Structures are given as structure tokens and as C-alpha cells.
Amino acid sequence: MCVSQHFRVLSHSMDTQTLFKQHISELQQGWGEALQKTQPECDAVLIHSGSSHHYFADDHAPPFKAWGHFLRWAPVDRADQFVLFAPGRKPRLLALVPRDFWHDQSLPTERWWADCLNITFMEGLSELAAQLPDAATLVFLGENKELATDLGIPPKQTNPAPLMSWLDYDRAVKTDYEISRLRQANVHALRGHAAAEQTFRAGGDEYDIHHAYLAACRVLDQELPYSNIIALNEKAAILHYQNKRRYVDRTVKPANRVLLIDAGCRAQGYCSDISRTWAADNAHPVFHDLLNGMQTLQASLVHSVKPGVSFADLHRKAHLGVAQLLADTGICQGDADALVDNGTSTLFFPHGLGHLLGLQVHDVGGRLANREGDIAAPPAQWPGLRNTRTLDAGAVVTIEPGLYFIPALLEPARTSAAGQSINWPLADELIPFGGIRVEDNVLVTANGADNLTRNAE
């Protein structure tokens, strides 16, 4: 992870230990209500961190990341760990620490979190069953359904949908501890972003920029919340530009016109997800106008975040802003509403405005309308929108409008009705500059928005 295990919480009067203690108390209350309302016949919940899986026909496994619902209880990011929750009792961490001379099996238990749990160490999974209550009244949460069966837990009590919906929905609203982790993840990621911009302006290629980011954050690739997107020039139009083949020919140093970087860090499992776009002084003047306009639009969208706002409405507002910018810069002709309604804006802004953020980059529950699991469908015009919820105080979302020149979208549009409104000579001039994305992590507060990214700078 990016951070040390002990630090003072920025802009907060309570230390990490106090925050975590309150966090566990809130989890106990919330999970107790969820269990009673959705699984009244059950007395306890066993939460599994997850299992490590080898690549097919290999003896090597990808880097492991523990499941989010487990990490909420214990910042132990390793496979085959368990938390046993029972209402009214101190939660237990059942920690698997095998005797193994091949791998480091040390499990640090810092007091700031370990004091909130009763910890039992096991050398093998065969010891797990003896630590558990009656399987007939136990809920199992996790991916390893075969393990649940081996423990004798009835199938209906393995990941029961009513309980999962309740927990996923509630996870959007963060405790003070969780907010402190998200703040710290932003602090550390911004160090990497500053190093990336400096390396870009010094003429570094994508490989150089990526490693400058890692060095500034003092992390390894596998510790990142997601693979860095480090895109120069026309590659900025590839939304998830994470193919490692980009680094094969490291002798080529393209002229740096544009850098789009989308990269984050983790703090005790909690993620940041930040995007910035930088342009060289000699980039196309219209591209500079677009970049300035997108930065202004993104700030306006952040300012619009508050409780009770529909994220789908914010998404449409973003499209109207992009459409107006396209018209103001002469890339398109027409009024903003028409450019949005006829699909022209989607050619340039094809992804969603953002998503919930937490222990997963694209955190769970983004389309849940309530605890009961009803779905708030995305608008038919934008089926890929990940977050369709009405914003609640305490939720953390990303706000990331984009504007791109993507040949795969623009080429078919040349002969379409929407394409008639596009100034194709100017659009073609801008294709080598790729595109723009500006993304911050925003906490919804009772009074509006707390920009965790900008306020960490």
C-alpha cells in the first residue's frame, strides 16, 4: 500500500485508532440490522477475504486483492482470511498463517485496528470449522462456495441476495475512518501525478512517466488499485489504455503533445482514482481551448454535487457542457440540447460521468435504488452509466467528464445524420491529440461537495 500504518488524519481531530474503533461500532450496528431484517433465522456471518487462483495450467497466481466487504472489517489484504461477525459480540479475525518456508507469512497486527478484533491464528483451513458456531445458523459471504459447502452451510445462506443487496447499498455511505483512508489515498496519488507531469514536460515517454509515478508513490505495479493509464498524444483517445505492449519499443521517443494520466493509490485498501490531462505549449490552440473548457466544466459539475441530486441528471449536465464546448470551439454546429439529443455529444464523450469509489475503484451498489435490491436503470441513451443513484451525504463519487477524438467512433459517423453537424477538417486536425479527461474524487456532504482530490493538493 502507499501509506505507512500510522499517521495523523489530515484535517481531523481524531487519530486513526479512534476513527477505526468508531468505524467498527458503526459496522456492527449496520450489519446487525441487515442480518436481522434479511436473515432473521441466522445468528452470525462469516466473511471470507477470497481465494488465490493460479493462471490456467500454471503454478503462478496473479496479485491478490481481498474482497471489499472483508476489508471493511480488517485491513488484511491476503487470501483465506475470515471475519466472524455476530451481533452483540466483538468481531473475530480468523487468520490463516501457514507454516511455509517459501513465502513470507508474517501478519502484522497494529494496535490501531487489531484492538478492535479478537484474533485467532490458524495454520490450515482444516482448523476453521472448530472456530465457528452452528453452520445451520451461519451466513457465508465470499467467492468460495465450495468452502461454504464443506463447512456445512446451507446453499441458501451463501451470499443470500437480500443481505448482499443491503450491504452493497449501504457501502456507498462512508464512515469517518473510510473517508480518512480515501483522503490519504488521494494525497499519495497526487505525488505520482506531479511526478508524471514533470516527466512528461521533460520529454519522457510512457515508460518513463509510469515509473516516475511508481517511484513518487513508492509502490509496485501490483499495489496499485488498477493498472495505470499513461497515454501520450493520440493514445489518449483509448479510454483504458493499459496494454503493456505499448512499452515494447522503448527506443522511440515521440514528441510529447498531450499526456492523459489516469492513476490512483490505495490506503488500507481504499482507492483513489484521479485523471489529469496536460498539453505542451505548442499543442493545437483549439485543443488548449478544449482543455481549459473541460477543466471549467469539471469544476462546475463538482460544485453541483449535493444530497438529493440524481447522478444521471449530473451525467446529462456533463453532456450539455461538452456539447456547448464543441459548439464554442467550432468543432460542431448546433445548440447543445440538439447535439446531446441526436447523439453527437456521445461520439466525443462515450463513457459515464463517474462511479462510486471506495474499497473498489468501481465500487458496488452504483445502480441500486434501495436496500431491497431494486435497480435504478441507466438512461437508454447512456446504458454504460455505472452510477444511477440519487446522491446521499457520505457517499464518495468520481466526477470525470471526457472529450475525445476516437477514430473508431468518428469514422462511422462521417456519413451519419449526427456527422452532418461536425466540422470534419477541424476534427481531423485534433485526432493526433487524443483527448481529455479530468477526474476528482468527491465526498457528498450535507452542505454540498468536499473535493478530496483538490483539497489534498
pLDDT digits (tens, 9 = 90+) for 152-196: 999 999 999 999 999 999 999 999 999 999 999 999 999 999 999
Using pLDDT thresholds of 50, 70 and 90, give the confidence band for residue 399: very high
pLDDT for 427 equals 98
pLDDT for 106 equals 86
Query: Taking the complete model, does pTM exceed 0.75, yes or no?
Result: yes
Q: Tell me the mean pLDDT in the region 125-130.
A: 96
Q: What is the pLDDT of residues 294-351, one digit of tens each?
A: 999 999 999 999 999 999 999 999 999 999 999 999 999 999 999 999 999 999 999 9
Sheet of 396-399, strand order: 396-399, 440-445, 448-451
Residues 66, 1: Cα–Cα separation, whole Å: 13
Helix (H, G, I), strand (E, B), or coil: what is residue 148? helix
Beta-sheet strands, E only, within 37-101: 44-48, 81-85, 92-96
One-letter amino acid at 25 equals S
Q: Tell me the mean pLDDT in the region 366-378.
A: 97
Q: Give the residue range(s) of CATH 3.90.230.10 domains in the chain.
A: 176-456
pLDDT for 102 equals 84
pLDDT for 103 equals 81
Q: Is the pLDDT of residue 201 over 90?
A: yes
pLDDT for 100 equals 86
Mean pLDDT of all residues belonging to the chain? 94
pLDDT for 268 equals 96
Of all helices (H) and strands (E), which one includes residue 138? Answer: strand 138-141
- pLDDT above 90 covers a percentage of the chain that reads 90
CA end-to-end span of the chain, whole Å? 20
CB 260 within 8 Å of CB 436: yes
Q: Give the residue range(s) of CATH 3.40.350.10 domains in the chain.
A: 16-159
Q: What is the pLDDT of residues 61-111, one digit of tens each?
A: 999 999 999 999 999 999 999 999 999 999 999 999 998 888 888 888 999
CATH superfamily, with its number, for domain 16-159: Creatinase/prolidase N-terminal domain (3.40.350.10)
Q: Is the pLDDT of residue 442 over 80?
A: yes
pLDDT for 249 equals 55
Q: What is the pLDDT of residues 213-269, one digit of tens each?
A: 999 999 999 999 999 999 999 999 999 997 554 544 566 677 999 999 999 999 999
Q: Which residue has the higher pLDDT, 293 or 7?
A: 293
Pick the CATH number of 176-456 from 3.90.230.10, 1.20.970.10, 3.40.50.620, 3.90.550.10: 3.90.230.10
- pLDDT above 70 covers a percentage of the chain that reads 95
Determine if residue 80 is left, alpha or beta; phi over 0 gives left, psi from -120 to 50 gives alpha, anything else beta. left
Distance set, CA 157 to CA 66, 143, 149, 203, 321 (Å)? 21, 13, 10, 57, 47
Q: Which of 14-18, 196-200, 347-351, 377-381 has the lowest mean pLDDT?
A: 14-18
Q: Is the pLDDT of residue 44 over 70?
A: yes
Q: Is the pLDDT of residue 277 over 50?
A: yes
Q: Is the pLDDT of residue 417 over 90?
A: no
Helix (H, G, I), strand (E, B), or coil: what is residue 453? coil
Residues 231, 258: Cα–Cα separation, whole Å: 8
Q: Is the pLDDT of residue 3 over 50?
A: no
Residue where the block lists cell 485496528: 113
